[in-house]
Amino acid sequence: MSQPIVSIAGVTKTFGPFTALHETNLQLNAGEFVTLLGPSGCGKTTTLRLIGGFELATTGSIAIEGRDVTSLPPYRRPVNTVFQDYALFPHMSVEENVAYGLTAGSSVVPKADREARVRDALGLVGLTSYGSRLPGALSGGQRQRVAMARAIVKRPRVLLLDEPLSALDVKLRETMQIELKRLHRELGITFLMVTHDQGEALALSDRIVVMSQGRVVQVGAPTDLYDRPCSAYIADFIGASNLLDATFEAASGGVDVFQLSDGTRIHKARRDGESIQKLQIGSRVQLGIRPEHVHLSPIIDGNEIEARLAGNLFLGDRLRLELFPARSDRPFFVDLHRDESSRRAPELGEKVKLYVGAADIMCFAEAER
Ligand code: ATP
């Protein structure tokens, strides 16, 4: 395999007595779109700033294109950053803002070349006719595009994006997600983006790096993380997941049997390559079930779970039911598509039988919570 374009090896970052990043290893491949995903304070921005050179690692090393950049300042690294607040100069025109990076620091570009590059960058973000405007006369989405143009005009090998769409409203955000994906394809460079929005990470990334409390907890393609989350935390963070406490009872012929706290037996089909060996009979586990994998009508080889309906939410294309299985104080969600929900919508307080296929049960050792 070719050399990674960015390699973080054993990096720890402390701020006084607080450790924001613990001995982290991470590699990015050339041309990938990678997102750092996790809740507020988990160390996403710190990781980005360490790669950009805005923070220095306390221990460990960072290499870009095989060159050790651990102690180099930002302007000597082949990366550029799009900041959350865009950081545009309000008194400079769009063109001047974009050209700024080519006139300052170590990378001064001759004027004729500069004009062509600014034109190209503005063309790429769809702002060709806005060059003479001041940032104050632009919409939020257009300001975001200027920030992108300013970052790509220097032709970095890696573009770092710190929650670039967080200031935009939901509709514009969706449009700009498509724009980001197109830009990534056209530029062919590596994008590393920070987000706490799992939908955004799933939609845009080749790989997602999930972080929690200053550590990387799983790295994988969106489908890997969704289909095979390695802990209950990730199952719940990536997509929605219903979690049920259970005890491991027996294993036979590729099927593992668990018991819920009300005595209900749940059969789980083992997936290819999945092993249950680390579980002892009687071990406490959590079973994870995606809302879209729950049915209200019996299915072949389905597990049956009884629950009471506590509420429902109309979500446009779906109806989300909130239920409570017997002896569980955690809500259990079921998504019904519109045609399904009009046929059979239970009443509030009604006892309902839920059916889940054995292949749709995920199992997590309790310690991984
Ligand atoms: P958010 O999504 O809220 O931006 P994040 O995952 O990007 O969060 P970081 O900004 O990387 O989180 O911060 C990680 C932790 O390090 C937080 O607890 C934060 O308070 C702390 N931290 C970050 N920068 C500093 C600093 N300069 N001095 C002290 N603590 C800091």
What's the complex ipTM? 0.96
Q: pLDDT of 216-265, one tens digit each? A: 999 999 999 998 899 988 998 888 789 999 999 998 888 999 999 889 99
DSSP label at residue 21: E
| Residue whose CA is at the smallest distance from ligand 1 atom 22 | 20
Q: How far is the CA of 158 from the centre of ligand 1 (A)?
A: 22
Q: How far is the CA of 19 from the centre of ligand 1 (A)?
A: 10
**18 within ligand 1 shell (Cβ under 6 A):** yes
Q: pLDDT of 285-332, one tens digit each? A: 999 999 989 988 888 878 999 999 999 888 888 888 999 998 888 899
**31 within ligand 1 shell (Cβ under 6 A):** no
The whole-angstrom separation of Cα 52 and Cα 80 is 7
**Ligand 1 binding pocket mutation candidate from 45, 54, 85 (most atoms within 8 A of CB):** 45
Helices (H) and strands (E) in the chain, counts: 9, 20
Structural domains in the chain, CATH included, are 6-232 (3.40.50.300), 241-368 (2.40.50.100)
- 113: number of Cβ within 10 Å: 10
Q: How far is the CA of 193 from the centre of ligand 1 (A)?
A: 16
The predicted model scores a pTM of: 0.88
DSSP label at residue 168: S
Phi and psi at residue 171, to the nearest 5°:
-65, -50
Whether 342 shows a pLDDT value over 80: the answer reads no
Residues 6+ apart with CB under 8 A from 152: 80, 121, 124, 125, 159, 183, 187
DSSP string, 190-258: EEEEEES-HHHHHHH-SEEEEEETTEEEEEE-HHHHHHS-SSHHHHHHSS--EEEEEEEEEEETTEEEE
R_g over Cα of the chain: 25
Tokens at 240, concatenated? 């929605």
